[in-house]
Structure 1
Amino acid sequence: MSNLILKPTKHNPRGIPEAPFIEKVEDYVKSPQEFDQVFQAFQERLQQYKFMMESKENTVKDLKRRVPGLKDNLKICQMLKSKNQNDDDDDDDEDFIEVNYKLNETLYTKAVIKKENMDKVALFLGADIMMEYSIDEAIELLKEKIKDSKKNLEIAQEDCEFLRENITTMEVNTARLYNWDVERRQKERKESD
């Protein structure tokens, strides 16, 4: 029944239904006996929006954290590629290069890389999976991942805004329903007295 009460007429591009706005409570509550059912349907939809909002906010946080890491990895790959190209031009005898890298937010350390190993990198893909790529493949993959992450971040932020508006609408709706019921009960008490 709640699906019929709140049958959406509009959706956002990801299929999230738009909340209706109650102008007249009587359009939704045909009789006082239906009030509890209608009120519960609106409360359930409000909770669904809040759950979706929490999920989308977590997605936004994850993406905001992921993009800088991808950009750092891209810079490193581009630096290795440029060093590799520059070293092909140079005929010096150095077989190693020394680089600084970040272990965590506050700790950096040095690494020594053999120049012969600079044509490949290993990228952590998540889910305990690491893959080895050529520098060019890694650069293309990272550029693609950055582009996709930025697009997904924009979509998630757009969904958050849509949900925020719908949560506000549903909170206003539930308040209007509640106030209508209070007025109705007061009127019934006055009539019975």
Structure 2
Amino acid sequence: METNPRGIPKAPFLEDIGDYTSKNESVEITLKKFTEALNKYKFMEINSLQRRKGLEDKIPEIENTLKMIKHIMKKNEEEEPIETLFEVHDTLYANAKIGKPKSVNLWLGANVMLEYSLEEAEKLLQSKLVSANLSLKNVNEDLDFLRDQITTMEVNIARTYNWDVKQRRNAKKLEE
């Protein structure tokens, strides 16, 4: 069976529905199989849309964190203290001067924070950004592929149903 690079199967397009149903199974079973396949493609589409949303939220965060790391590195070279507003609580801020920081703490997720040197943090964030952008590209490709497969399955279902209606009409005419 043909698949896309991430293993999503390609939907078959039926040229001759009569031939397919006579060789394989009844129209009802064929329609049931096609509907199941359509539902699976729609489920994959929903999961891919959620994944894309997560990546679209995550990428700007990574970019902003990377910009901040570069800003800190630049200020360290200039040997100027970094002046900032430090959030103490939701609406409470304090002025702060930061000397020459040698490391930063990064949230990795699942309530895990690790300390990295500025260079390690920059390298880690660069690799995370490349990985997230690649994942977003793959998810977008998968969504395009899934939309094509959903359309193909919808067409197969409609054509099978219409073929069955035509066969029943012909059978009814022959009876009369």
Q: Distance in 2 between matches of 1:115 and 1:67?
A: 29
Aligned amino acid, residue 97 of structure 1: I
What's 2:8 paired with?
A: 16
Q: Distance in 1 between matches of 2:135 and 2:24?
A: 45
What's 1:50 paired with?
A: 42
Q: Distance in 1 between matches of 2:95 and 2:20?
A: 68
RMSD of aligned C-alpha atoms?
Answer: 2.3
Q: Is the 8 A contact 1:100 1:108 kept in 2?
A: no
Q: Distance in 1 between matches of 2:6 and 2:55?
A: 18
What's 1:175 paired with?
A: 158
**Count of residues paired in the alignment:** 174
Q: Output one character per residue of 1:134-189: Cα deviation in whole Å (capped at 9) or x when no partner.
A: 11110000000000000000000000000001101110000000101111112222
What's 2:126 paired with?
A: 143
Distance of aligned partners of 1:15 and 1:102 in 2 relative to their CA distance in 1, 3 Å threshold: farther
Distance of aligned partners of 1:101 and 1:57 in 2 relative to their CA distance in 1, 3 Å threshold: farther
Q: Is the 8 A contact 2:86 2:96 kept in 1?
A: no
| Structure 2 alignment gaps of length 5 or more | none
More moved, 31-40 vs 146-155: 31-40
**How does the TM-score come out when normalised to structure 1?**
0.82
Distance of aligned partners of 1:127 and 1:16 in 2 relative to their CA distance in 1, 3 Å threshold: same
Q: Distance in 2 between matches of 1:101 and 1:23?
A: 66
Shift of the alpha carbon at 1:113? 4.2
- Map 1:158-169 onto structure 2 (within 5 A): 158-169=141-152
Q: Output one character per residue of 1:110-152: Cα deviation in whole Å (capped at 9) or x when no partner.
A: 6514315x11111111111111111111000000000000000
- Map 1:40-189 onto structure 2 (within 5 A): 40-87=32-79, 97-100=82-85, 111-116=95-100, 118-189=101-172
Q: Distance in 1 between matches of 2:148 and 2:58?
A: 27
| Structure 1 alignment gaps of length 5 or more | 1-7, 91-95
Q: Distance in 1 between matches of 2:92 and 2:43?
A: 39
Q: Distance in 2 between matches of 1:20 and 1:133?
A: 51
